Amino acid sequence: MSAGGSGVTANELLAVMGARELKDNMTVFAGVGAPLMASALAQRTHAPGLTMMVEGGIIGPKWKPGALPISTNEMRAAYHAQMLPGITDAFLLAQRGFLDVGFIGGAQIDRYGNLNTSAIGGSYERPKVRLPGSGGANDIISLCREVIILTVHEKRRFSETVDFITSPGWLDGGESRRKSGLLFGGVSRVVTTLGLFGFEPESRRMRLEALHPGVSVDTVRANTGFDVLVSDTLTTTKPPTDEELGILRMLDPARQFL
Amino acid sequence: MTISPREYDFQAARGRLERKTKSSGEKLTTLEDAVARVADGDHLAFGGCLFSRTPLALIRALLRRRPKGLSISRNLMCYEGEWCMVAGAVDKVVTSWMGIGLPWGLSKIVREYVESGRVPVEEWSHLGLGLRYRAAAMGVPFLPALTMLGSSLVDVGGSKIIDCPYTGEKLLAVPALFPDVALLHVHRADRFGNCQIDGYAHMDADISRAAATVLVTAEEIVSEEEIRRTPDRTIIPGFIVDALVHVPHGAYPHECYGLYDAEPDHFGAYVESINARGSAAVQEYLDRYVYGPATYAEYLALFGTTALEEAERRGKELVS
């Protein structure tokens, strides 16, 4: 799939836009796929001091180009890591408050950034489609200081309601997340193949803040299952640069994740 | 709610340990003898994570006994969970994620068995399940945590939310999970069951302390002296291990950190056969890889020595 410019794939666009959200000397908890690519790209561009945490229980890996991990628990994910604390203890570092940013994807998302990766349709016991489950996504979204969601933008994913809240965003909006006991964090950004979204501070409803080049608000509306709020200061993102794309393709020459 | 009081009954769990001999003696035995300690209806916790350090030799030996009514738990369940479903061995799967990995998409076996209501999946967050084992390893009925709150996962297992007795804030009371039997694969052990693991620790240490019975396979059996020279590397003490089996490549074709890489092409062929023939393909796989070969050596021979050597080469390269 080409998006946001000639020859740029959906995952390349997500990785580039995701990488730009990260700052130097941050700690980031990253899931497999585009989030991992985004973190690795940021490390090699503007954020050399970024420390990555991976849910297999890995701190500070430096992945080998051409040998990117398929899962967050296999040997490639730990390549040249600084520490392997174990899975439970890695997440407990997030619960303690050491993780600035969490980076996850999602199968189904609603206007409050709630994610469903468990079960679609029917009941939980007898779903129409059983998905793989939370893995670490619920913990990342619950325990990091802020969370960025990276996802392909499709109408079936951007849904009026989610059938099951695997990973809580702002729940029903307003103060509901805090009231549920989630005292920290929350979803700050949703990076999609069409643009960048934030959340309205009071209602916590998703709001379009930037469009990728060549994408219109109408296109976003047509691909979203809920009303799209649009920021008064809507901007356009800068397309991926040759340098950014070059680094991604150097990291993943076989284009396994791009 | 699907958790049962037996899973978090810390007094009963302690009682089982108090009645047990904590032997410092010889633990070496055969795979068949080790898995004979599993009874129908038991809750089994598998060590490792996804396709890393999975106790496949033990699971394979177990399935050859045609067990029934088991509950199985693992933080990320890979295809061994599908084997148990298709073999008719499990009534419940407890996990945070089940599939093989991102490149292979949704598991058609999980979809078939869960969507039809045949085998329920009790889903926890990754940390949630980790803390269930940790609570049990600590001998307490629950641990307070800040995760899973506000999500639908709270209701799946039936977790309770409590008010912090000090601050008044809401906390998730993650219930302990005391498995009947732990199945683990480690890098090395002495014959008394003192175990060392390289690289990823996963949740094995907590699981070993949480379970009533601990079965271990080891890539290498080392001397007592070697363990005594490096006691800081021992993460499971011998007195909590009930049975130990020397099984080189005991996790293959899953990986064992620093020793051998996984075989993604094998997973790919497995998934392709399921795409073509559904759960019948898993039944065929079980016939060929589990029920067919009488010994583990015969099972490994199905992959061939060239594949094993190549996996070893890649595995060593990835830690250099």
pLDDT above 80 for A5: no
Q: How far apart are CA A229 and CA A209, in angstroms?
A: 9
Q: Are B29 and B214 in contact (CB under 8 A)?
A: no
Query: Quick check: B144 contacting A, CB < 8 Å?
Result: no
Whether residue A12 lies in the annotated active site: no
Degrees (nearest 5) of the Cα angle B60, B64, B68? 105
- Reported as a pLDDT band with limits 50, 70 and 90, residue A107 is confident
The reply to whether residue B152 touches residue A167, judged by beta carbons under 8 angstroms, is no
Counting the structural domains of chain B, the total is 1
- Report pLDDT for A2: 47
B258 touches chain A (CB under 8 A): yes
pLDDT of A105 above 90: no
Contact flag B97-A181 (C-beta cutoff 8 Å) = no
Question: Within the 211-240 window of chain B, which residues sit less than 8 Å (CB to CB) from chain A?
Answer: none
Nearest to B312 by CA among B252, B257, B259: B259
Alpha-carbon span A90 to A58, nearest angstrom: 7
State whether B151 and A168 contact (CB < 8 Å). Answer: yes
Note the pLDDT tens digit of each residue in A18-70. 999 999 999 999 987 899 999 999 999 999 999 999 999 999 999 999 999 98
pTM above threshold 0.90: yes
Q: What is the CATH number of the domain that holds B151?
A: 3.40.1080.10
Instruction: Answer whether B121 sits within 8 Å of A33, measured CB to CB.
Output: no
Domain carrying residue B128: 5-317
When pLDDT is averaged across residues B120-130 and rounded to a whole number, the result is: 98
Using alpha carbons, list the distances in angstroms from residue A11 to A73, A193, A209, A217.
Answer: 21, 8, 20, 21
Class of domain A10-251: alpha beta
Q: Report how far residue A51's alpha carbon sits from residue A45's, in angstroms, rounded to the nearest whole number.
A: 14
**Are the Cβ atoms of A138 and B153 closer than 8 angstroms?**
yes
- Whether the pLDDT of residue A3 is over 70: the answer is no
Chain B residues near residue A166 by CB distance under 8 angstroms: 123, 151-153
pLDDT tens across A215-224, in order?
Answer: 999 999 999 9
Closest alpha carbon within chain B to A258 = B103
Q: What would the pLDDT profile of B170-193 be if each residue is shown by its tens digit?
A: 999 999 999 999 999 999 999 999
A123 touching B, CB under 8 A? no
Whether residue A4 is predicted with pLDDT greater than 70 in this model: the reply is no
Task: Tell me how far apart the alpha carbons of residues A157 and A116 are, in angstroms, rounded to a whole number.
Answer: 9
Tell whether the torsion through CA atoms of B238, B242, B248 and B249 is positive or negative.
Answer: negative
Q: Is the ipTM of this complex over 0.95?
A: yes
| pLDDT of A1 strictly over 60 | no
Residue boundaries of the structural domains of chain A: 10-251
The tens digit of pLDDT for each residue in B270-303 reads 999 999 999 999 999 999 999 999 999 999 999 9
**Residue ranges of A 215-254 with Cβ closer than 8 A to chain B:** none
Lookup: tokens for A234: 């809507």
pLDDT score at B211 = 98
Residues of B in contact with A136 (CB under 8 A): 96, 125-127
Least confident of A6-15, A201-210, B107-116: A6-15
d(CA A114, CA B313): 43
Asked if pLDDT for residue B168 goes beyond 50, the answer is: yes
Kind of pairing, strands B234-236 and B195-196? antiparallel
Note the pLDDT of residue B79.
97
Selection from B72, B182, B192, B185 nearest residue B137 by Cα: B182
Q: Please, what is the average pLDDT of chain B?
A: 97
In chain A, what percentage of residues exceed pLDDT 70? 98
Q: What is the pLDDT of residue A77?
A: 95
Question: CA torsion sign, B101 to B102 to B104 to B110?
Answer: positive
Please judge whether B262 and A74 are an interchain contact, meaning their C-beta atoms are less than 8 angstroms apart: yes
Amino acid identity for residue B45 in this structure: A
Q: Which residue of B has its CA nearest to A178?
A: B150
Summarised one tens digit per residue, pLDDT across range B215-226 is 999 999 999 999
Residue A181 has pLDDT above 60, yes or no: yes
Mutation site, A32, A58, A88, interface B, largest B CB count within 10 A: A88
Cβ atoms within 10 Å, residue A215:
20
